[in-house]
Amino acid sequence: MNQESVSGRVIEELGLVEVNLRREFPWRKAVHSKRQIKEDVRPIYWANRFKSYLSRTAEWDEYPNGRWGYSQSPAFGELTDYHIFLHQKKLKPAVLRKKWGEELKTEDDVSKIFVDFLTGKIDNLPWIDFPIAPETNSILSELLQLNQSGFWTINSQPRVNGASSNDPAVGWGGSGGVVYQKAYLEFFASPQNLEYFLQVINSFGIRFNYQAVNKAGDYKSNFNSAIALTWGVFPGKQIIQPTVADPVSFQIWKDEAFCLWTTKWGSIYPKGSDSRNVIQNIINSYYLVNVVDNDFINGNIFDIFEKIKLKKESIPN
């Protein structure tokens, strides 16, 4: 409790003062001596559920340092209800229905909940423990359009090409540095939307890397090793790359992501209800997808979805 980051966080969450803590990394660093000294790389998938990631990797003997290595799935530990509801008060179903829909009749009703989160009408989703990050504001209008069209985003970051490490939205690592990041999106998509996505993304050649997987394990991808998503250049240091997309970790995250549909959202509705059936259909048929835009200089990751929109509009009714 005598560390600045901890004390500042406590004061901030009590609402006593607004604290502008300088980020050492793009993700929230653990208050744990062993991790603090050694850990400087994480997969992006748990960015909005960092407490679950910390718990599921707490028993690691070594933490990634410098570069992300190959992490076998058992190293993450078994997924339990403890990880799903970690450090969260388990609210009554009636309270959660006010946030995530009193009744879901169609998947359009689900789209509305994702849009409500992005517009600030609700403060969290099963996959996102806190309101949107400041960097999200630069792509907020595009995210709104994406969610309205049935691509439900649960993680994202805009491209950054040489921003100051002191930038209030995307900066990290202390003064005197320059930071970069590739644009990244993670979302749930119906089988039909995934088909459009795959048709379009392949037309861009090597510019994009993607992964898609459903609950049953049907996996589609065009890469098989870790990709650096953020990196920083600082005086007197090697290049730091603290955030990656990693195929092995994605398979572990997939199980947690689909479990959250069931345990945190579907469970708030009575068995056999239309709402419960809508959620169950999503669990059984939808894909979890992520995509990386390798053009961090001039790219626009939303080019994919503009092409999808044009493709849909060209199909006769």
User: Using 50, 70 and 90 to split pLDDT, how confident is the model at 87?
Assistant: low
**What number of other Cβ atoms are within 10 A of residue 188's Cβ?**
24
pLDDT, tens digit (0-9, with 9 covering 90-100), for 198-214: 999 999 999 999 999 99
Contacts of residue 191, Cβ cutoff 8 Å, sequence gap at least 6: 285, 286, 287
Distance CA 110, CA 149 (A): 11
pLDDT, tens digit (0-9, with 9 covering 90-100), for 159-193: 999 999 999 999 999 999 999 999 999 999 999 99
Distance CA 39, CA 71 (A): 14
Question: For residues 291-304, b (16+ Cβ closer than 10 Å) or e, as one string?
Answer: bbbebbeebebbbb
Distance CA 194, CA 9 (A): 40
Residues in the chain: 317
pLDDT at position 160, please?
Answer: 98
Contacts of residue 190, Cβ cutoff 8 Å, sequence gap at least 6: 107, 150, 285, 286, 287
Residue with tokens 């002191």: 166
Locate 169 and state its tokens: 């939205």
pLDDT, tens digit (0-9, with 9 covering 90-100), for 256-272: 999 999 999 999 999 99
Locate 205 and state its tokens: 């050649």
pLDDT at position 30, please?
Answer: 73
pLDDT, tens digit (0-9, with 9 covering 90-100), for 136-167: 999 999 999 999 999 999 999 999 999 999 99
pLDDT, tens digit (0-9, with 9 covering 90-100), for 275-292: 999 999 999 999 999 999
Specify the pTM. 0.89
Closest CA to 45 of 288, 297, 217: 288
pLDDT at position 9, please?
Answer: 47
pLDDT at position 38, please?
Answer: 79
Average pLDDT over residues 59-78: 70
Locate 303 and state its tokens: 């080019």
Distance CA 38, CA 187 (A): 31
Residue type, 267: S
61 versus 83: which is more confidently predicted? 61
Closest CA to 232 of 171, 179, 160, 176: 179
pLDDT at position 70, please?
Answer: 54
pLDDT, tens digit (0-9, with 9 covering 90-100), for 9-40: 454 455 444 444 568 888 887 776 667 667 88
Report CA Rg, the chain. Answer: 20
135 versus 79: which is more confidently predicted? 135
